[in-house]
Amino acid sequence: MMKFSAFRILKEGLPGNKGWTPHWRNPDPKPAYDAIIIGGGGHGLSTAYYLAKNHGFTNIAVLEKGWLGGGNIGRNTTIVRANYFLPGNSEFYSHSLKLWENLEQELNYNAMLSQRGILSLLHSDGQFYTAARRGNSMLIQGDDARLIHRDELREMVPYLDYEQSRFPIKGALFHPRGGTARHDAVAWGYARGADQRGVDLIQNCEVTGIDIENGKVTGVQTTRGTIKAPKVAIVVAGRSSQVAAMAGMRLPIETHVLQAFVTEGLKPIVDHVISFGMGHFYISQSDKGGLVFGGDLDFYASYAQRGNLPTVEEVMRAGMTLMPALGKAKVLRSWGGVMDMSADGSPVIDKTQTKGLFLNCGWCYGGFKAVPASGVATAHLMATGRHHQMADMYRLDRFQTGYRLMDEEASGSQHNLH
């Protein structure tokens, strides 16, 4: 197996980079496995990796209907952070950020984690109070947070329009350990790590049915035939409702499109991740120089994987309000991904009524940062039958009992408002 290092890059570079080999095999499905993971996105791949690494499950497969990393894992705006407030989310994302900080060593893969810091802008006294409360809860969780007032913020990010009439900027909540990572590399790193440990990554293999006998899962139907397994996990993000329906379930999920945008490459200007909540806008700059930004959902249930113009206009408008210089940049591309919006805005990692069938869904537009911890937690649940401590509250029955719903934004049980 090929190990990456600076020396290796030199050695391969000299003969013209002709010696590199594929990072993973492309096997055909076997008739049976010890466990199957449906969905080769970030969460499916990390689940497979940790099942193999932490629990010794090596006779397992990831079934992906398209190609690895073609879903949301390759479409997101790559922000990682641990600035959640509610118990349940707080410890989970805190754990995930710690895993991010060691991910490249763990995977021997350059995930380009860049802890450039996240600034969440504040515009009023009231917002300062709530930000102080959130910041304190982050500190109690063991993460970092600092309130920044206008003068200091102005030195850090001088290019914002501080005097705009609608939302004059008064300060920010700073989360220094937050930042970005290279989304594709995360998928590829986990894929390579899982493959190395014997996991079969099977592409162009759509799951079309889930086989259940006497309340127990026995395998799946796919476009490449029947595959048997006593344990199956549904990890398909925006397609969760369809795959869960194959097992007779109806989920607290509605699928919505989220768009993002990138400009031509520019010289470094945006050194942090800036979140302008009041304008539903956020921006960072990729290492290639493109300004990467986005806003809200398109707001109605959709599987289109592309966006509509009203949201494009709204995002551009908010960007121009915040940072007028943005108007000089040319937008290179825009795209959309389908989000599994849960009714309380928080995810589910749980067993189901069907024995051996597990569910990982409801990541909304925040599931990239969750990829490492979600893999650890889902693998732990599949292998041991017990919930991992840091993901213990991601239960499906919270929607029925109403106990411990995790509505971070206190927006109520409407799927598109989170």
Ligand X SMILES: Cc1cc2nc3c(=O)[nH]c(=O)nc-3n(C[C@H](O)[C@H](O)[C@H](O)COP(=O)(O)OP(=O)(O)OC[C@H]3O[C@@H](n4cnc5c(N)ncnc54)[C@H](O)[C@@H]3O)c2cc1C
Task: Give me the residues that bind another protein (CB under 8 A), please.
Answer: 241-242, 245, 250-255, 299-304, 308, 310, 343, 399-401, 413-416
* 155: Cβ contacts below 8 Å, ≥ 6 apart: none
Rounded to a whole number of angstroms, the minimum distance from the CB of residue 117 to another protein is 35
Contact between 184 and ligand X per CB under 6 A: no
CA distance 412 to 409: 8
Picking from 37, 38, 36, 45, the residue whose alpha carbon sits closest to that of residue 367 is 45
| Binds ligand X (CB under 6 A): choice among 201, 210, 237, 391 | 237
Which of ligand X, another protein, none does residue 366 bind (CB under 5 to 8 Å by kind)? Answer: ligand X
Contact between 44 and ligand X per CB under 6 A: yes
CA distance 278 to 81: 19
Contact between 206 and ligand X per CB under 6 A: yes
Contact between 260 and ligand X per CB under 6 A: yes
Indicate the residue among 128 and 252 with the shorter CB distance to ligand X. Answer: 252
3-state secondary structure labels for all residues of 129-190: HHHHHHHHHHHHCCCCCEEEEHHHHHHHCCCCCCCCCCCCCCEEEEECCCEECCHHHHHHHH
Contact between 78 and ligand X per CB under 6 A: yes
Q: How far is CA 361 from the centre of its chain?
A: 11
CA distance 227 to 210: 10
**Residues in a beta bridge with 276:** 281
Contact between 73 and ligand X per CB under 6 A: yes
For the chain, the residue count is: 418
Indicate the residue among 203 and 308 with the shorter CB distance to another protein. Answer: 308
Interface region with ligand X, contact rule CB under 6 A, candidates 154-162, 231-239, 383-391, 409-417: 231-239
Which of another protein, ligand X, none does residue 40 bind (CB under 5 to 8 Å by kind)? Answer: ligand X
Q: Which structure tokens are listed for 347?
A: 């995810």
Contact between 236 and ligand X per CB under 6 A: yes
Tell which positions 347-406 bind ligand X, by CB under 6 A: 363, 365-369
Whether the CB-CB separation of 292 and 284 falls below 8 Å is answered with yes
Which of ligand X, another protein, none does residue 303 bind (CB under 5 to 8 Å by kind)? Answer: another protein
Q: Which structure tokens are listed for 18?
A: 């002709």
Contact between 38 and ligand X per CB under 6 A: yes
Tell which positions 320-339 bind ligand X, by CB under 6 A: 337
Which of another protein, ligand X, none does residue 138 bind (CB under 5 to 8 Å by kind)? Answer: none
Indicate the residue among 233 and 236 with the shorter CB distance to ligand X. Answer: 236
Q: Which structure tokens are listed for 247?
A: 């097992």
**What DSSP line would sit under 190-214, residue for residue?**
HHHHHHHTT-EEE-S--EEEEEEET
* 289: Cβ contacts below 8 Å, ≥ 6 apart: 264, 265, 266, 267, 268
Which of ligand X, another protein, none does residue 73 bind (CB under 5 to 8 Å by kind)? Answer: ligand X
Q: Which residue matches tokens 């304008």? A: 279
Rounded to a whole number of angstroms, the minimum distance from the CB of residue 181 to another protein is 29
Indicate the residue among 177 and 239 with the shorter CB distance to another protein. Answer: 239
Contact between 85 and ligand X per CB under 6 A: no
Indicate the residue among 258 and 349 with the shorter CB distance to ligand X. Answer: 258
Indicate the residue among 251 and 283 with the shorter CB distance to another protein. Answer: 251
Q: Which structure tokens are listed for 181?
A: 């990572």
Indicate the residue among 32 and 132 with the shorter CB distance to ligand X. Answer: 32
CA distance 52 to 233: 15
Picking from 48, 72, 62, 47, the residue whose alpha carbon sits closest to that of residue 363 is 72
Which of ligand X, another protein, none does residue 72 bind (CB under 5 to 8 Å by kind)? Answer: ligand X
Which of ligand X, another protein, none does residue 236 bind (CB under 5 to 8 Å by kind)? Answer: ligand X
Which of another protein, ligand X, none does residue 173 bind (CB under 5 to 8 Å by kind)? Answer: none
Indicate the residue among 204 and 353 with the shorter CB distance to another protein. Answer: 353
Indicate the residue among 243 and 329 with the shorter CB distance to another protein. Answer: 243
Which of another protein, ligand X, none does residue 34 bind (CB under 5 to 8 Å by kind)? Answer: none
CA distance 46 to 66: 17
Whether the CB-CB separation of 192 and 48 falls below 8 Å is answered with no
- Residue 234, classed as helix, strand or coil, is strand
Q: How far is CA 67 from the centre of its chain?
A: 17
Binding interface with ligand X (CB under 6 A) = 38-44, 63-66, 70-73, 75-79, 206-207, 235-239, 243, 258-260, 294, 337, 363, 365-369
